[in-house]
Chain A
Amino acid sequence: MNAMSERKIRVLIAKPGLDGHDRGAKVIARALRDAGMEVIYTGLRQTPEQIVNAALQEDVDAIGLSILSGAHMHLFPRIIELKREKRLDDVMIFAGGIIPDADIARLKEIGVAEIFPPGSSLEEIVSFVKANIRAV
């Protein structure tokens, strides 16, 4: 293979928690794919264990979490803990959904790279992912 050939950025879009609001997750999945990335969407109702296992198996560079149920303060820390256990240190986590400002600061402290609240533009999210995954 040509050493110059670039591996495509691989992103897992995941829906932790029980809410079925997948409009945002699917729009982001499609926008990242349109931007040339390889995107895997987990489907709904994934446990933290399922999400981290999928990230490991799919060898992704980033995990995008979408949640609108309000359970993020329970589920995100667990996902980050499991990611650490599996030594997926290079995998970036970003998130979107209904996440109040007060929780955003706390989630960033524990390792969520960025949180995109409602109204964020697709372009902003695509550029962020491109700029912030490990060099490939």
Chain B
Amino acid sequence: MKTLHKEEAEEKKRSFSTVSGHPIKELYTQSDLAGFNPERDLGRPGEFPFTRGVYNNMYRGRLWTMRQFAGYGSAQDTNRRFKYLLEQGQTGLSVAFDYPTLFGYDSDHPFSYGEVGRCGVAIDSLDDMETLFDGIRLDQVTTSMTTNAPAAMIWGMYLVTAEKQGARWTDLAGTIQNDILKEYIAQKTFIYPPRPSMRIITDIFAFASRHVPRWNTISISGYHIREAGSTAIQELAFTLRDGIEYVDYGIQAGLKVDEFAPRLSFFFDVHNDFFEEIAKLRASRRIWARVMKERFGARDPRSLLCRIHCQTAGVSLTAQQPYNNVVRVALQALAAVLGGTQSLHTNSLDETLALPTEKAVTLALRTQQIIAWESGVPNTVDPLAGCYFVETLTNEMEGACLEYFDRIDAMGGMVPAIERGYPQREIQEASYGHIRAVENKGKIIVGVNDFVAEGQSPVDLLVIDEEVQRRQCEKLRQLRAQRDNAVVEKNLASLKRAAEGTDNLMPPLLDCIRSYATLGEMCDALRVVFGEYQEPNIY
């Protein structure tokens, strides 16, 4: 029997694959790049196919936007956190809403019990939105809002708040997530069935292109797909295929591709596997540029850009030895920057346990500032271009992504694929495979299945004020007593009529908002017309 040397035995035992299970070779050389044409496949930064970045000088011209997702408790609580983050040098706002708000329930709805202000800020009406941005000029900041099923209502509240501050809509910039497809696939905060939901989204595209031209009308998100357990390739493929679906629906709704495509933006997860993540971001730009040009015939160069927001992977953080999370986040953030992201949220070390404390979120922001100002990485554009390994991985991710496109195209697109549970099932398989690999130590997680330590170093946790729910309910009671309810009823009736027909939903929604209709009332009006989505129970 042949005896292996110790090193060989070690090599046999360890698995050499990415965190997604993608195999990695011992060595990459020029021969891995046979057929690779740098002029065609890379180009220059800011030029087709944008593999090297969406802008020609990238971070030399402007650093990425440091945008920490924040929201908890009441609008007052979150307004204080926003002002603190801006004072600390954060450059854009990002709003996290609580679950009742994400599902379009008012704080006094039975489903809201125990959930108000807990995972984000509670917003019941325009009144809360005005408080949320009190003292913050909306034409002076850019704001990202993570809202999907009720995105039209929340965005409408933002527009009316700006209007009341005296700001012009044409000066507003920011993003609404507004990506319902990944809700059915992964995050599950849906309200209406896919087809009426797609109509709401195309109404937003049309309204923004006419009235709020600098607004990113959608952030097509892989983040939640990945967090639900997908591989990096599935994240890339399902996200970009969702993007194709939105463009298809926009065109079917009568819009010209170049009218709305420049305002599409993307959102990816940045997980632990350093090079895989960099390759994923580089591949996403090339694939999107080619899709827009070749599949949709887009002419406006801005329609070809895959502009990206990144967030470090929440799912990679561990409750065990929580300080290790600081190191994970730093590596992930570095990968996002090397991948050429346009904005970045770095997770806080305590986020496996609760919403972050002010101290923890400051450290997470400092992590970005150290990369920006101390590491030297932003000094040059796409420093890893031409690296045998990174280019090979980028090509492999592109190839695997296109195979998924073919499969989904054959199903008739993403909406039918979702209705038959295809992406959901793919993610579930990957997720189960990963946990099995962790259980049998095929994948090591420091502090969890190896290098385990007894006795945890405790971290301080943010505690949500239990009074928030009671106060929100009281505010709602007062609001309903003080506003002109006849006007509210009339506006809600117009909203329903528009929903039954084909008129754009934004104008009647804005009227509802101006008369202080609550989020729950507006969402209910559409529930009556559109119905509610029941997901296929796959497990």
Contacts and interface: CB of A to CB of B under 8 A. Distances in A.
A23 B434 CA distance: 12
B114 A73 contact: yes
B352 A118 contact: yes
Interface residues of B, number: 39
B539 interface: yes
A98 interface: yes
A20 B188 contact: yes
Nearest to A25: B539
A75 interface: yes
A122 B435 contact: yes
Nearest to B352: A118
A41 B297 CA distance: 45
A69 B116 CA distance: 10
B319 interface: yes
A112 to B, nearest CB: 16
A74 B114 CA distance: 5
A115 B63 CA distance: 44
B99 A30 contact: no
Given A22-B228, A23-B228, A44-B188, 16 more contacts: A18-B112, A20-B183, A23-B431, A25-B539, A26-B432, A27-B431, A27-B432, A44-B535, A47-B110, A70-B119, A70-B354, A71-B113, A75-B113, A100-B461, A119-B320, A121-B449
Interface of B: 99-100, 102-103, 110-115, 118-119, 183, 186-189, 227-229, 318-320, 352-354, 428, 431-432, 435, 439, 445, 448-449, 461, 464, 535, 537, 539
B100 A30 contact: no
A71 B352 contact: no
Nearest to A33: B539
Interface in A3-42: 13, 17-20, 22-23, 25-27, 29-30, 39, 41
Contact of B111 (A23, A45, A117, A121): A45
Nearest to A22: B188
A90 interface: no
A43 interface: yes
Nearest to A123: B439
Nearest to A44: B188
Residue from A18, A30, A45, A75 whose CB has the most chain B CB atoms within 10 Å: A18
Contacts of B183: 20
B103 A18 contact: yes
B534 to A, nearest CB: 8
Interface string A61-79: 0000000011101110000
| A-B CB proximity, top 6 nearest | A20-B188, A74-B114, A71-B114, A18-B99, A70-B118, A118-B319
B461 A69 contact: no
Interface residues of A, number: 32
B228 A19 contact: no
A33 to B, nearest CB: 9
A123 B439 CA distance: 8
7 contacts: A17-B114, A18-B100, A18-B102, A39-B539, A47-B110, A69-B118, A74-B114
Contact of B435 (A27, A29, A43, A70): A27
Contacts, number: 84
A123 to B, nearest CB: 7
Contact of B439 (A43, A44, A122): A122
* Majority-rule SS of B interface residues: loop
Residue from A29, A39, A70 whose CB has the most chain B CB atoms within 10 Å: A70
Contacts of B112: 18
Contacts of A121: 439, 449
Contact of A71 (B118, B189, B320, B435): B118
A18 B115 contact: yes
B432 A30 contact: yes
Residue from A17, A39, A47 whose CB has the most chain B CB atoms within 10 Å: A17
Contact of A98 (B100, B318, B353, B432): B353
Contacts of B535: 43-44
B97 to A, nearest CB: 11
A73 B432 CA distance: 29
Contact of A100 (B119, B320, B354): B354
Nearest to A43: B537
Residue from A23, A41, A71, A118 whose CB has the most chain B CB atoms within 10 Å: A23
Contacts of A73: 114
Contacts of B114: 17, 71, 73-75
B318 A119 contact: yes
A13 B539 CA distance: 11
A17 B115 contact: yes
A23 to B, nearest CB: 5
B319 A117 contact: yes
Contact of A26 (B103, B189, B431, B439): B431
Nearest to B448: A119
B118 A98 contact: no
B435 A98 contact: no
Nearest to A73: B114
B431 A19 contact: no
Nearest to B447: A119
